[in-house]
Chains A and B, each alone.
Chain A
């Protein structure tokens, strides 16, 4: 009877110590972080409960991400290096994770990555995560179930890290969090290499380079290409980050956002720019090319026929492209009454 009672107490004590041991201490986390790359504690199946379980006296930012290529989470690939930079910036000044201004505050970073669709980490099931990337924010005195979701920074790369750190500083209430940008040597090397090549080639072939730079046609083509790009609505895509193409209700790919005047897909401006460029080219052909040809063939009867044929082709191409353009416009603006008739419809009419 007594022995049984003793066993019970022993079990209870054991359980309690196990429970206490489950909640990680600052030193414990700092040690884990020191071992891991970028100072980010990995959340594997065995350790994630130890790391995230309360009660705790520090903050944790945990990232759930997915680098399995089949999933194709581009946001994850984009954000991972940013998260590394954010964590590194903190660890660099605070190896123990404790704020030097306010020792009561400590901050650690953790990450779980779904690398293989066959082996989904436990933590994904534990929180029933369906969307990645997820940024979870654990505050002191909370349990493993109490967390806030943080928004990803709106800006990309370095600016995004700075934005996130500013927000994090406010959320945690610390001031000694400096932003360190990881030096990317590859761009320096590439820039040096390109610079060297340009200078070398420029010195060696200075005549050719200056001929290109002072060539009227180079500048003309560059200016025209720029204008064509702009009038195709390129800046809209760049500023709004529009998707390349969309899908209709049945899941078919559509290239033109129907009946949407204020919106467009990325591919729309590419198609339209190409149409503008071709139309411009045929027009220049008519104004500049054809008179030159006529001069070349001056006096020969067959030459006149050749020129007439070329003119007819250019006109036909202009008409077809312009008809196509008005038809595309009618997709965007369904009540548009002035579509050019398609050549196929014209032939059917005959």
Chain B
């Protein structure tokens, strides 16, 4: 089967599902009483189809490329999973990894969320037990699609509680194929978010059920799902705050009831104690301010319960006085206590990431390491539309309709929607948590529309009140409205399939590109370079690179790195930043102090790949400047009022920096007359701009020069400075090795 055919089939699998779901809404409404048996049989079939669509639309990456782990963080998760299946769980929790953050090492077992790895190890063991020895890589690659199927079911169950099964089916169909969720759950995207969204939906579903029924069992189930979530993703703080805010809103609306009391207390007590069992979380739930809202609402609820009791026993006038006095007292005491505890250092202040959500300038000024991550940037409007298509304009309407009913569970969705739309606007990655509520709200709204307009049952039977059949006009309007929205649904399916296959199915380890004739070309420089490292360097050699590539080097090349994507130690990252930003002799000494053998840089100038190290260079400088403001100055890298140039007009500091030399070493010689065309920056780099390397030897450049690896020269046996050695050699007239131009076709 060719790629195109498979693509078509994956799209085709997704298409009918939504339409079937819409049709099911119709049959469901017409046959609720008459043929509920048919509905009962249809619903499992539709759900199965939805799950199949959810899984298959996530397989583009496997079909077009291969079964491979994507991006950066998944490589760490994969490496940790490999460690878990080859060691015991106890070893895993006590894992000290000395092959990252050299020479510090990382207490990996205590600083990761083990839920993801534990789950896939469990699946791997279970499959072996039933006689299916699957490679752990395949378990990891297919993990996200399978859990997306579970998410679809959890969303169905959640939406069913809000309206009915019809809306539930629509919501499940939406979440199954909506790009905003697919973006983080394609096959190979083996990241914490892959399982977290499933657990998010499951927690909320149980929470709503517990609230509706005042059920301890559902409250406990919500707490268990919450515990699972805590073990899998740092974003659990979202639940920790959303549920208290929901309860707080209910209290403000005067909706205190025994059901609220039971549900919240069960969830809070079990959930908090359970979450403290995760080593990385520890005592945070009672110390960190991120969790204070949950604790505060817990206390408030006890007071509300007491107030409820007092109210029932004394006359209302007295109760009012008691209430006012006690509220004032409690607020004063609470605020004073919070300040005192924070001041005494007993409870931690909010974390940096949390601040950057509220004070939008905080990160840019105080923590460049957070601001530098592209996931933490604010989001533009096309991104919202790309991720949710027409659901984005259905969303406000849906929230408006929720206000019309406004049961407790609707308040939950409203709070979720308002809070999360703000968070997503501030930080791109939180689009992931917004997407489910958009799907749920959109499904509820659309299902309301179909309840009214897709109901043709009265065209056949006579109207009971007037004894007349519906007029032709009424039937026509109903058909028109239904048809136009079914058409939008049809467009939605096409949009989702297109976005998934064009935007979200690239592994980013392997880059897709086009040859001049339009055929697919695969740029595999990363794996080529990492494999070279694996095969040609000593097992214990240390590789310095910018932190973005730390996990990949650890996972694919299996070499020790100085810094990686964990970014737990800003100073250590700044060391690498300083080495890259300093002149060669300073960098050499710094790198030698850290036992570095190889330096790896990503250079996109030949290929036209924008995400290379020169484009990230400013962040390296900024982070280094944060630690050594006297030695690294951002201003020195600019010319004329903040221009960042790499050609002959570049500042001298820029040209002297190690990053510049390593990136452009030998680059101009590839071109006629030594005029190198940098295809990313669109500037001309001449041979005269690039000073020769005295302290480093080029040992490897990948096919398209995307990855370049340099070895630190050994110290001179006669004790001279290496720059003096180079001067001496060039005076003797030793020729430098010349470079061959790589054979690359122009790619569009």
Q: A interface vs B, CB < 8 Å?
A: 151, 154-155, 216-217, 219-221, 223-224, 226-228, 230-236, 238-240, 261-264, 268-269, 272, 275-277, 279-281, 283-284, 286-288, 290-291, 294, 298-299, 301, 304-305, 307-308, 311-312, 315, 318-319, 322, 325, 329, 332-333, 335, 337-338, 340
Contacts and interface: CB of A to CB of B under 8 A. Distances in A.
Nearest to A331: B382
23 contacts: A151-B635, A155-B365, A216-B404, A219-B403, A223-B414, A226-B418, A230-B425, A263-B380, A281-B397, A283-B397, A286-B449, A287-B449, A287-B452, A294-B474, A298-B465, A298-B466, A304-B471, A304-B474, A307-B474, A308-B473, A329-B382, A335-B502, A338-B498
Contacts of A287: 397, 401, 445, 448-449, 452
A223 B491 contact: no
B226 interface: no
Contact of B425 (A235, A268, A280): A235
Interface stretch (B476-484, B567-575, B730-738): B476-484
B400 A284 contact: yes
Nearest to A304: B473
B487 to A, nearest CB: 9
A281 B414 CA distance: 18
Contacts of A286: 449, 452-453, 481
A236 B424 CA distance: 10
Contact of A227 (B379, B418, B426, B491): B418
A242 B396 CA distance: 25
Interface stretch (B280-288, B384-392, B512-520): B384-392
Q: How large is the interface on B (under 10, 10 to 19, 20 to 34, 35 or more residues)?
A: 35 or more
Contacts of A283: 393-394, 397, 445, 449
B394 A264 contact: no
Interface of B: 360-361, 365, 378-386, 390, 392-397, 399-401, 403-404, 406, 414, 417-418, 421-422, 424-426, 445, 448-449, 452-453, 465-466, 468, 471, 473-474, 476-477, 480-481, 484, 488, 491, 494-495, 498, 502, 635
A269 B425 CA distance: 12
**Main secondary structure on A side of the interface with B:** helix
B396 A277 contact: yes
**Main secondary structure on B side of the interface with A:** helix
Contacts, number: 167
Contacts of A221: 400
A322 B485 CA distance: 12
A291 B452 contact: yes
A227 B380 contact: no
A216 B403 contact: yes
B380 A223 contact: no
B395 to A, nearest CB: 6
A290 B392 CA distance: 23
Contacts of B424: 230
Given A224-B400, A299-B466, A230 B421 contact: yes
Contact of A235 (B385, B422, B445, B495): B422
Contacts of B452: 286-287, 290-291
Contacts of B491: 338, 340
Contact of B380 (A230, A233, A325): A233
Given A226-B418, A231-B392, A315-B481, A216 B406 contact: yes
A66 to B, nearest CB: 17
Nearest to B466: A299
A305 B472 CA distance: 10
A138 B484 CA distance: 70
A308 B390 CA distance: 24
A129 to B, nearest CB: 13
Contacts of B384: 231-233
Contacts of A217: 403
B380 A264 contact: yes
Contacts of B445: 283, 287
B477 A232 contact: no
A231 B474 contact: no
B703 to A, nearest CB: 27
Nearest to A131: B641
Nearest to A315: B484
In this complex, which of B378, B400, B426 has the most chain A Cβ atoms within 10 angstroms of its Cβ? B400
Given A299-B466, A325-B385, A340-B491, 7 more contacts: A219-B403, A224-B397, A230-B425, A276-B392, A280-B400, A287-B449, A294-B474
B382 A264 contact: yes
A233 to B, nearest CB: 4
Given A224-B400, A227-B399, A233 B421 contact: no
A261 B495 contact: no
B425 A236 contact: yes
In this complex, which of B382, B400, B401, B445 has the most chain A Cβ atoms within 10 angstroms of its Cβ? B382
A322 B379 contact: no
Given A235-B426, A283-B445, A308-B473, A261 B383 contact: yes
Nearest to A262: B380
A338 B494 contact: yes
A235 B396 contact: no
Given A290-B452, A315-B480, A329-B385, A284 B397 contact: yes
